Every structure is written in structure tokens, then in C-alpha cells.
Amino acid sequence: MNRKEKNKKEIKLRLSEEELAHLNRNVARTGLSREQYLRLLVTDRIPAALPPADYGVIVRQLNRLEQEIRAAAANLQGETDRFRLMSAVQTVHSTTLMMQNALLPQATAPFIPLQSEVMRSA
């Protein structure tokens, strides 16, 4: 069964102008279509926002810097200098990981409704 046959069910949903604008803003942050966005929500997954435009450039620069520092550390004679350079490598590496975790949340994380959403539905 191809995707077109699988997705034959249609639901109609009425939204206020404000709700539609809110949905469209959230969808625009992800780069997904509205249908893809809603399918993720229906399957209890939170669509991740796209990272900033400079994200890829920054990660590549940090990775290149990490490799250059590692190469420099391998050529050093003194343990003190090697330790300082390897400490810098760890800082670059941990910064890269923190940035990735902050900017690229897991799109497959379980959906947890906001407290305000829970209160409204009660």
C-alpha cells in the first residue's frame, strides 16, 4: 500500500483566526508542511524547530577547530602544553554538544501537554 492510499482519511477542523495563525507560526518554525506537523502531533511526537541558518557553519567550524587542536596536541613535547590543548578540545567538544542539544531537541520525544492545555481541557 503506497502512502497516497494509506492517507485517504480526511478530517475537517475549524479554527479561529488566532488559532490558525498560532498553528501556522509553529509549522513555519519546523520547515514541515501543516499535514506533516499535525501527523507528528497525532503520534505523540513534538516537531522540532529548524536550527538557525548559521547552525551548520558553526558546527563545522567547531569540529574543524577541535581537529586542529587535537593535531597540535599530538605534536607537542611537554605534558603541560598537551594537557592545556586537550582541555581546550574538551571545551570545544562539550560546547558543540550543548549547542546541538539546545538547538535540536528530539523530535521523537513524547508529547507532554502544557499545564495550561491540561487545565483548559478539564
Residue-wise pLDDT for 74-105, tens only, equals: 777 777 777 878 888 888 888 888 777 766 65
Phi-psi region of 44 (alpha: psi -120 to 50; beta: other; left: phi over 0): left
Q: In the predicted model, what is the mean pLDDT of residues 54-65? A: 82
| pLDDT band per the 50, 70, 90 thresholds, residue 38 | very high
**Predicted TM-score of the model (pTM):** 0.48
Phi-psi region of 52 (alpha: psi -120 to 50; beta: other; left: phi over 0): beta
Q: In the predicted model, what is the mean pLDDT of residues 25-33? A: 90
Q: In the predicted model, what is the mean pLDDT of residues 59-71? A: 82
Question: Is residue 41 within 8 Å of 47, Cβ to Cβ?
Answer: yes
Please state, in angstroms and as integers, the Cα–Cα distance from residue 96 to each residue in 25, 36, 45, 63, 87, following that order. Answer: 28, 29, 25, 8, 14
